Structure 1
Amino acid sequence: MKYEHLSGVPDFCATEYLPRRSDYALCIPIINEGDRIKRELDRAQRAGIDKIVDVIICDGGSTDGSTADDLLSAAGVNTLLVKIGAGKQGAQLRMGLWWALQRGYRGVITIDGNDKDSIESIPLFIEKLREGYDFIQGSRFLKGGEAVNTPPIRYGAVRLLHAPLISLTAGQWFTDTTNAFRAYSRRYLEHPEVQPFRDVFQAYELLAYLSVRASQLGMKACEVPVRRVYPPKGKTPTKISFFKGNSDLLRTLFKNLFGAYRP
C-alpha cells in the first residue's frame, strides 16, 4: 500500500507480511546493505528476536536484491517500508516511527542494518521500556558492553567530542551517542514538546535530537550495555563520508546544542 502526502512523513510504500504481533517494534533503516542485513536477520531469528518484537525494515530504496519479499518474509520480517519521498536516514526513521505509532506499539527500538550491533541485546531495551524509561541508549562502553575493532579515530571522536556535546545538550551523561541502537517509548514520541514528524529531520538530525530531548523534558533516560563489532580489516561499514559527512554531523551537533530542532 502507498502512503502519500502525510504531514512530516515522506511518501512510502508498505508491504505487510504479518499483522502486528508484539507490543514493540524493531525498526531497521537500510539501503543496499546486501549480505550484512541478511546476516543480521539470521542472527535475530536464531536468538528468537522476531518472536518478541515485530521487525520493520525501513528501506531507503535498495537496489541490491536484499529486500526481496521472499527473503524478508523467510527471515521473520513483519513489514517492509520503502521510502519513495525525499530525505535520507532521518526520513527513513520518521517513516518507521510513524508506522509504529499508527500500529499502536508501546515502544520502538532502532538498530543499524549493517550487522555491527548485538541484535541479541533487544531484551535489555524491552526490559527498560517496561520499567517506564522513555529513551534507552545502547552503549558499548558500559560495563557488560563490548567495543570490538573500533577504529581509533572513531573511538576518539565519540568519547572526546560527540558524547560530551550530546551530554551537555541533554543535561545527562551518555557514553555512546553515535550508536543508533536505542529505544523510544510511545509516550516520548507522542509528547507535544517532541514532535519528531517534521521535515527538518532529513539526515542525522533526528538521531541527535532524540538523544537529548527526553532528558531536557525530565523524562526517564538511561543506557544499556551492547556489543558493537567493526570488521578487523577492510572498509568500515558506514554511510558517513569522511569530510562532508563529518562536517555536516558536527554542524548538526552544534545546532542541536543551541536548540535549533526544538518545536
Structure 2
Amino acid sequence: MVTPFDEKGEIDFSACERLIDHLIATGTDVLVVAGTTGESPYLTADDCQKLFHFCVEYVAGRVPIVAGTGTNSTKSTVERTRMADAAGVDAIMLVTPYYNKPSQDGLYAHFEHVASKTSLPVMLYNVPSRTGCHLQAETVIRLAEIENIAAIKEASGDLEQIAAIIERTPDSFAVYSGDDGLTLPVLAIGGDGIVSVAAHVIGDEMKQMVEAFLSGQKEEAATAHRQLLPVMKTMFLAPNPSCVKYALNQMGVAVGEVQLPLIPLNDIEKKQVDMVLGSLSTIKK
C-alpha cells in the first residue's frame, strides 16, 4: 500500500481510509503497509507507529495487515516490530538490511534475532536491486526452519532461486513474487501469489488472473498476464511508487505526491501513464 501524504509531507489519514477501501474493494486479500511502495525510508518510527495503529483500527479485521518493520539496523528493526505487534498487526515483513552489506551468516543472524523477539509470522523480503544485499536461496532455506518465519517476498527476479526455495522449504512456507511481471511464472513453478504494486490500479484483474491459474484455467491466465504486462511495466517507468501514486490520483483516489528524494513524474512520464490508464477500459471488458 502506498502511503498518502498531505502537502506538508505528513501522513494523510483521511486519504488512507479511501485508499484502503479502494484496495479491499478491488481484490486485495492482505494489506502490506510501510513497505517499499509505502516509502518506508521516509517514514519515521513515530510515523510507522501511527500508521500501524490506524490501519488496524480502520481495517477492523476485513483483511490481514502485514507491517513493514525492516531497517538496516537489527536494533531498530526489533523496535519497529514491537510497535507493530503492540498495534495488533497480523504479520511483519523484514527487508534485507541495506547499505551494511552483511554476509549470509550475518543475514541469518539478523533475521533469526528479530524473529525470536516476536510471535508474529515473519515474511522475509529479498530485493537486491534496491538494497545492494542478496538473500541467497540456501540462507532462506535455513531460515524457513525457524517456526515463525513463514514466507518470503522474492523480488530478485531470479526464477532459478525462487524454484530452489519452493522446492527445499516446507509446504507451509509461502513464496510470493515481489515483481508484478513475474506473477504468473512464479505461480507456474509453485509460488503462492504476488505482493503487488500494480494491484493499486488493476487489482481485480490481477486477482482474476491468479484465481484463473489456480483453478486450472491456464490459457485464460496466460492471456490475462500478457494483457496486463504493459500496465505492470508502466508502473515502474520511474522509481516506485512515483508512477502508481500518479495513476491513483488520476483515477480519483487521492494519495498526494511522493516525498524527496523521490520526485513527481515529468510530463513525458505522465503521458505514458495516461496512455496506459486510457487502455484499461479495453482490458477490463
**TM-score normalised according to structure 2 size:** 0.34
**Larger RCO, structure (CA 8 Å, separation 6 or more):** 1
Q: Rg: which structure is higher?
A: 2
**TM-score normalised according to structure 1 size:** 0.37
Higher strand share: 1
